[in-house]
Amino acid sequence: MKLATHYLQQIENVDIFPIISLFIFMTLFVLVVIRAVTADKKFIEDAKKMPLSND
Amino acid sequence: MEQQTFYYDNKIVKLFAYATILWGVVGLLVGLIAALQLAFPIFNFNLSYVTFGRIRPIHTNAIIFAFVGNAIFTGAYYSIQRLLKARMFNDFLSKFNFWGWQFIIVSAAVTFALGYTTGKEYAELEWPIDLMVALVWVAFGVNMIGTIIKRREQHIYVAIWFYLASFLAVAILHVVNSIEIPVHFMKSYIVYAGVQDAVVQWWYGHNAVAFFLTTPYLGLMYYFLPKAANRPVYSYRLSIVHFWALIFIYMWAGPHHLLYQALPDWAQSLGVTFSVMLIAPSWGGMVNGLMTLRGAWDKVRDSAILKFMVVAVTGYGMSTFEGPLLSLKNVNALSHFTDWTIAHVHIGGLAWNGFLAFGMLYWLIPKLFRTKLYSDKQANIHFWLGTLGILFYAVPLYWAAFTQTLMWKEFTAEGILAYPNFMETVTQLIPMYITRVLGGTLYFTGAILMVYNLIKTIQSGSIEENEEAHAPALAETSKLRLAGETIHRWLERKPVQFTIWIAIAVIVGGAVEIIPMMMIKSNVPTIESVKPYTPLELEGRDIYVREGCYTCHSQMVRPFRSETERYGEYSKVGEFVYDHPYQWGSRRMGPDLARSGVVTGKMYKTDSWHFNHMLDPRKMVKNSMMPAYPWLIKDDLSTDYTAKKISVMQTLGVPYPEGYAEKAVDDLKKQAETIAAGLKANGIDVSPSKEIIALIAYIQRLGVDITKQAGEVKAETEEVVIDFTPLTDAESVTAGEAVYVKNCVACHGAAGNIDGTGLVGPALFDTIYIHGNTPNDVFKVTSEGVPAKGMQAWKHLLPKKELDQVVSFVLNYKK
């Protein structure tokens, strides 16, 4: 812990952290939306029915 | 393809369902007691084990971890097996999960009642039980991931993603928030101090709501709602977006619990931004749930199960709308420390968690026992009792919150607080608290009805503990991506990889929030005059934690005029650097105590006042619903671990001098003797070895360091101008008597009293005044007070008019 603390204390401009994270999030979000929208229709239909299969 | 035969483990599902029902009833009952205690303090029974400060953690933990926890396991163990077409990975792990969890619950209840707590909300368990939790939780995770690996179904349904994410996130949260150094078997100090501890704690607290009360429940929703409605979820695409967006954003929003508190701006802004963004995926999920029932609303009318689920999902929508609202800074300025928070969590708890669990049980129990529900009518009655219960619970609490926050913030035309006496702002709420008890009772009655209904159902059927099922084995596929396969499906084929990605999504948010906070010194400026607690104060602080005083008292003066006027100087980040754990609190049932020890401050009371107050709060403050703590006066303070505590603190970086641990007990005794001698001079005979002495030492230390440099100088330079003419008209004198009866009797005795023995202050109706006999002298001492002796400066607490009246009354009284 001490060691890590020492190096992290050197970081300047902590505020860059949240900006980076917002950016990461936005990228991920766009990717997920694209993926969901372009997902194969048959696959979606199959997946949807999973809880309903007999048991 | 070859059909394989296997058996679903229904017995484990049954056990978890029973536990859900049992702990649900217990948790609700304890909540009812807590609600009663706030309306009628007599329900604290003057008994340490059941005072509000200990009951409240029992209630919150019983509901979250016992009731909701077992409901999650019930649903997960049922749906995982069906969705993956496989028995659970390992029967021993299933059993270990079940019995381990129940053991934890029982130990939690017992240790909380005995006062073993870390003092961190929803993470109050002491370290040995924390370790048990980690072990059992990992058993659950291994069991689940093992089942995923040996599954007979290609695709992993979205419900299971939610379970997986919950498992990972809770594991991380629990570990990070529980890093503590043991003092003895049942006592430890958290490694974080002050602000850091607060940030880690609310990162945990917020995400416990997210990943324990929300995401696993979304898994249940995505499975049991389609099941009960017998139609597929509205949009599977939406559920994919819902999942990734939700697990990614939730982690970042923690700081919204600490707005306007001593926290760097960037962290507050980050918390607010992400909290607002949370509305989108949450409402996506709600819409997805409700739209699943589109075109089937006639079914909802007839089925109690669907009704429960609809209200549950609506409750989810309401609380996820309100949550971001509460994290806007201007709303939070009003809502924080009031009942608003309590109302908010109960919309989530009673509607979303409670109703979804009830809906699930009503569907699952008949299914498991291969029979029909004993009485649909009773289930419907339960639904209406529960719904009314929620309304009667929430509406009065919102009302209470608005009432109190406005009273706290109201100033008179002269610019002083309109309600300087804190108790006035609480007495107003009592009718609302009584209505809440009614709401809780309705909800509880509904739950009891369910227990009866389900027992009858169980009696009429029989369970197949190992239910036979058939499915083809999963074809061996290449580890490489197949042509035309999307990345997501490829990932999902490889469960371990999938798990790792979920972990990354969850960790990024947490890391961004926590690491800079923990690591960067400039975030926590040190204040020269802030020194470590003395051994006696440290012991007193541990009593404060043990009794759960933080469940009613905050120690965090926010930078608003309404708070600095009432309590004193606002709190600074650097004040808390030696606080393991931090004790800022989250609800002000009683006044903030951060400035209680500041002799020249507005909150100061003498040692003897505190002594009498702890013995019987209602003797000192009319209508107070603070519990009495007579055992603190009876019990001896144990100093067995004082030295150890000091050395653990040293390990944590608290700068006690080298070798101080050995001298600690001597210092403790010296300080205790001084305090006991002071009490004795005021007519209170108490041995210095009692616990109350330590607690008083701690209270009198609060806020002292920070005011050391600034305070004194100011007091001397301020010229006091006296503007007083005694009033003699009967009306003013009568009004003055009323003011006297309300504010002064506790310390000066009844009107006309001339005998000072046994009183906190001197008699006022004799002919000689210590501070001078002229009207101006008497007025001055009343107005400016003698803070060092426990006489408040009433100019801060009473409007000028009332001040004039009460002094006139005292002077006018026929001697």
Average pLDDT rounded to a whole number, residues B587-600: 92
Supply the pLDDT for residue B303: 93
Cβ atoms of residues B35 and B619 within 8 Å: no
To the nearest whole number, what is the mean pLDDT of chain B? 88
- Residue B505 vs residue B282, higher pLDDT: B282
Q: How far is CA B688 from the centre of its chain?
A: 33
Average pLDDT rounded to a whole number, residues B510-537: 73
- Render pLDDT for B252-283 as a digit per residue (tens, 0 to 9): 766 666 655 656 666 677 777 778 888 888 89
- Taking the Cβ of residue A43 and every Cβ of chain B, the question of whether any pair is shorter than 8 Å is answered with yes
Tell me the pLDDT band of B561, cut-offs 50, 70 and 90.
confident
Rounded CA-CA distance B138/B96 in Å is 11
Tell me the pLDDT band of A8, cut-offs 50, 70 and 90.
very low
- Residue B504 vs residue B254, higher pLDDT: B504
- Render pLDDT for B302-340 as a digit per residue (tens, 0 to 9): 899 999 999 999 999 999 888 888 877 788 888 899 999
- Say if residue B40 is in the same domain as residue B129: yes
Largest CA distance in chain B: 106
Supply the pLDDT for residue A2: 41
Residue B212 lies in a domain: yes
- Taking the Cβ of residue B159 and every Cβ of chain A, the question of whether any pair is shorter than 8 Å is answered with yes
Supply the pLDDT for residue B442: 97
- Taking the Cβ of residue A15 and every Cβ of chain B, the question of whether any pair is shorter than 8 Å is answered with yes
Supply the pLDDT for residue B296: 83
∠ Cα B805 B783 B625 (to 5°)? 80
Under an 8 A CB cutoff, do A5 and B508 touch? no
Q: How far is CA B448 from the centre of its chain?
A: 26
Supply the pLDDT for residue B485: 59
- Most A-contacting residue of B237, B464, B521 (CB-CB within 10 A), to test interface: B237
- Kindly tell me if the per-residue pLDDT of B516 is higher than 90: no
Residue B74 lies in a domain: yes
Residue pointed to by tokens 């005072």: B51
Give whichever of B68-77, B255-264, B283-292 has the largest mean pLDDT.
B68-77
Q: How many domains, chain B?
A: 3
As given in the structure block, the two tokens for residue B383 are 């639904």
- Say if residue B490 is in the same domain as residue B599: no
Residue B522 lies in a domain: no
In terms of residue numbers, what domain contains B784? 730-814
Under an 8 A CB cutoff, do A14 and B488 touch? no
Rounded CA-CA distance B51/B54 in Å is 6
Quote the crossing angle between the two packed helices B215-229 and B304-326, to the nearest 10°: 150
Nearest chain A residue (CA) to B85: A55
CA distance B344 to chain A (A): 27
Tell me the pLDDT band of B712, cut-offs 50, 70 and 90.
very low
Supply the pLDDT for residue B82: 94
Rounded CA-CA distance B178/B166 in Å is 18
Rounded CA-CA distance B332/B326 in Å is 5
Cβ atoms of residues B407 and B353 within 8 Å: no
Give the up-direction half-sphere exposure of residue B307: CA atoms within 13 A in the CB hemisphere: 16
- Say if residue B54 is in the same domain as residue B151: yes
Under an 8 A CB cutoff, do A48 and B236 touch? yes
- Residue among B274, A54, B428 at smallest CA distance from B419: B428
Instruction: Please give the model's pTM, rounded to 2 decimal places.
Output: 0.84
- Say if residue B121 is in the same domain as residue B88: yes
- Say if residue B540 is in the same domain as residue B496: no
Cβ atoms of residues B369 and B458 within 8 Å: yes
Q: pLDDT > 90: what percent of chain B?
A: 59
- Taking the Cβ of residue A4 and every Cβ of chain B, the question of whether any pair is shorter than 8 Å is answered with yes
- Render pLDDT for B597-637 as a digit per residue (tens, 0 to 9): 988 888 888 898 999 999 999 988 888 999 999 999 999 99
Residue B724 lies in a domain: no
Rounded CA-CA distance B506/B251 in Å is 6
Rounded CA-CA distance B339/B38 in Å is 12
B478: domain CATH number is: 1.20.210.10
Under an 8 A CB cutoff, do B508 and A24 touch? yes
Rounded CA-CA distance A42/A20 in Å is 37
- Residue B268 vs residue B88, higher pLDDT: B88
Question: Closest to B488 (Cβ–Cβ): which among A17, A35, A48?
Answer: A35
Supply the pLDDT for residue B529: 82
- Kindly tell me if the per-residue pLDDT of A13 is higher than 60: no
Residue B678 lies in a domain: yes
Supply the pLDDT for residue B478: 53
Supply the pLDDT for residue B815: 55
Cβ atoms of residues B348 and B316 within 8 Å: yes
- Render pLDDT for B193-242 as a digit per residue (tens, 0 to 9): 888 888 888 888 888 888 999 999 999 999 999 999 999 999 999 999 99
Q: pLDDT > 70: what percent of chain B?
A: 92
Pairing mode of beta strands B3-9, B466-472: antiparallel
Supply the pLDDT for residue B707: 78
Residue B114, classed as helix, strand or coil, is: helix
- Most A-contacting residue of B83, B244, B466, B523 (CB-CB within 10 A), to test interface: B244
Give the up-direction half-sphere exposure of residue B761: CA atoms within 13 A in the CB hemisphere: 27
The answer to whether the Cα torsion of B269, B270, B273, B275 is positive or negative is: negative
Residue B463 lies in a domain: yes
Q: How far apart are the first and last CA of chain A?
A: 51
B800: domain CATH number is: 1.10.760.10
Nearest chain B residue (CA) to A1: B519
- Say if residue B487 is in the same domain as residue B343: yes
- Say if residue B561 is in the same domain as residue B499: no
Cβ atoms of residues B368 and B13 within 8 Å: yes
- Say if residue B339 is in the same domain as residue B473: yes
- Most A-contacting residue of B266, B487, B491, B502 (CB-CB within 10 A), to test interface: B266
- Kindly tell me if the per-residue pLDDT of B559 is higher than 70: yes
- B408 vs B371, B417, B420, B553, B803, CA distance in Å? 56, 8, 8, 15, 20
* Residue that is last in its domain, among B717, B742, B759: B717
- Say if residue B144 is in the same domain as residue B237: yes
Average pLDDT rounded to a whole number, residues B356-372: 96
- B761 vs B422, B595, B674, B740, B789, CA distance in Å? 21, 22, 20, 13, 8
Q: Which of B225-239, B499-513, B740-754 has the lowest mean pLDDT?
A: B499-513
Please list every residue in chain B whose beta carbon sits closer than 8 Å to the beta carbon of residue A27.
Answer: none
Please list every residue in chain A whose beta carbon sits closer than 8 Å to the beta carbon of residue B520.
Answer: 8-9, 11, 14
- Say if residue B479 is in the same domain as residue B433: yes
Q: Which of B36-45, B746-755, B772-781 has the lowest mean pLDDT?
A: B746-755
Rounded CA-CA distance B287/B596 in Å is 49
Residue B572, classed as helix, strand or coil, is: coil
* Residue that is last in its domain, among B453, B486, B516: B516
- Say if residue B80 is in the same domain as residue B178: yes
Tell me the pLDDT band of B812, cut-offs 50, 70 and 90.
confident
- Taking the Cβ of residue A20 and every Cβ of chain B, the question of whether any pair is shorter than 8 Å is answered with yes
Rounded to the nearest 5°, which phi and psi values hold at B602? -85, -20
* Residue that is last in its domain, among B717, B745, B760: B717
- Taking the Cβ of residue B179 and every Cβ of chain A, the question of whether any pair is shorter than 8 Å is answered with no
Average pLDDT rounded to a whole number, residues B458-481: 82
- Say if residue B506 is in the same domain as residue B569: no
Please list every residue in chain B whose beta carbon sits closer than 8 Å to the beta carbon of residue A4.
Answer: 519
Supply the pLDDT for residue A18: 64
Residue B528 lies in a domain: no
- Render pLDDT for B128-181 as a digit per residue (tens, 0 to 9): 999 999 999 999 999 999 999 888 888 889 999 999 999 999 998 898 888 999
H/E stretch holding B340 reads helix B339-346
How many Cβ atoms are within 10 Å of B728's Cβ, its own excluded?
10
Under an 8 A CB cutoff, do B266 and A15 touch? yes
Residue B525 lies in a domain: no
How many Cβ atoms are within 10 Å of B713's Cβ, its own excluded?
9
